[in-house]
Structure 1
Amino acid sequence: MGLKGKLIASIEVKCGGHLIHDIFHTNAHHVPTISRAFNRFEIHEGEIIKIGSIISWNYNDGGQNKFTKQIIEDIDPHKKSIRWKIIGGDVLEMYNSFTIAVACEPQWVTWTIEYEKKTEDTSEPLIELGIILDLNKDIEGHLVKN
């Protein structure tokens, strides 16, 4: 049927992947001041950033305000990785499940999106991947500048 899929994108970074991991692991609340697309971060349950914490983001997708609510499923400080599962928001209108993971190496950041479409006609989440890669570029630019 082809309803499940996975998108993986690796991007080279000048600032060091560990710094990008640190932003998401301990300073996610700064993302709205760094990013052009993400404009709000909120913790609903738990704390920055612990497994089981429930967080949300407001972001701009082509001029439309969007919302995503996520639970932190996994954090590996040694591998510099974090995995978020979407539990609410706009993305779940088109997908039954949606998980985002980031793994940071010294010069590379790899983003993985795993998803299950609601219908065969649903497109792959290339727009969502683009938003994430733009976010990565915004964070890198901020870290290199500072």
Structure 2
Amino acid sequence: MAGLADKLIAQVAFKAGGDVFHHLMAKNPNHFAKVCSSKVQACELQQGQFGTTGSVIQWKYVLEGKESIAKQVIEVDEEKKQVTYKMIGGDLLELYKNMVITNHVETKGGIDFITWTIDYERSMQIIHTQLQS
């Protein structure tokens, strides 16, 4: 059964510098828990090496008061200052058939911007179940 595909995009200026953000997300996502500990408890390396395409990481986070996990394969593009996370396991895949989260840094007028893009496909079976309740 096919799903319902959609995309969310958000962009914010990042005063600390885009290089700092990219380095944090690509090579040290485990430090992200220190930056926003109320939402993210940990980022653990499951396979490979932080900052290396094909590596697998697992996030532990709180969403709507519930402890959750997200397991992802990462792809790092240093030239574009881009990190892509393809969801391969975790709580979000109970609601979504597919999910890919990308962040990249770009500079406009001397200001660094972080753009987050979330491509997702909602499972039609889940939508059908929700409509019946």
Task: Name the TM-score, length of structure 2 as normaliser.
Answer: 0.84
Does the CA contact (< 8 Å) of 1:43 and 1:54 recur in 2?
Answer: yes
Q: What does residue 19 of structure 1 align with? A: 20
Show the 5 A alignment for 1:51-62. Answer: 51-62=53-64
1:38 aligns with 2:40: yes
Does the CA contact (< 8 Å) of 2:3 and 2:97 recur in 1?
Answer: no
Show the 5 A alignment for 1:81-100. Answer: 81-100=82-101
Does the CA contact (< 8 Å) of 1:16 and 1:105 recur in 2?
Answer: no
Show the 5 A alignment for 1:46-85. Answer: 46-72=48-74, 74-85=75-86
Q: CA RMSD in A?
A: 1.7
Q: Deviations over 1:57-107 (max 9, x none)?
A: 0001121101000001x2111110010100000100011100000011232
Q: Which has the larger radius of gyration?
A: 2
Q: Which runs of 4+ in 1 moved over 6 A?
A: none
Sequence identity of aligned pairs in percent? 35
Does the CA contact (< 8 Å) of 2:11 and 2:116 recur in 1?
Answer: yes
Q: In structure 2, how many angstroms separate the alpha carbons of the residues matched to 1:86 and 1:61?
A: 16
Q: In structure 2, how many angstroms separate the alpha carbons of the residues matched to 1:85 and 1:61?
A: 19
Q: What does residue 139 of structure 1 align with? A: none
Q: In structure 2, how many angstroms separate the alpha carbons of the residues matched to 1:17 and 1:98?
A: 24
How many residues of Structure 1 are paired with residues of Structure 2 in the alignment? 121
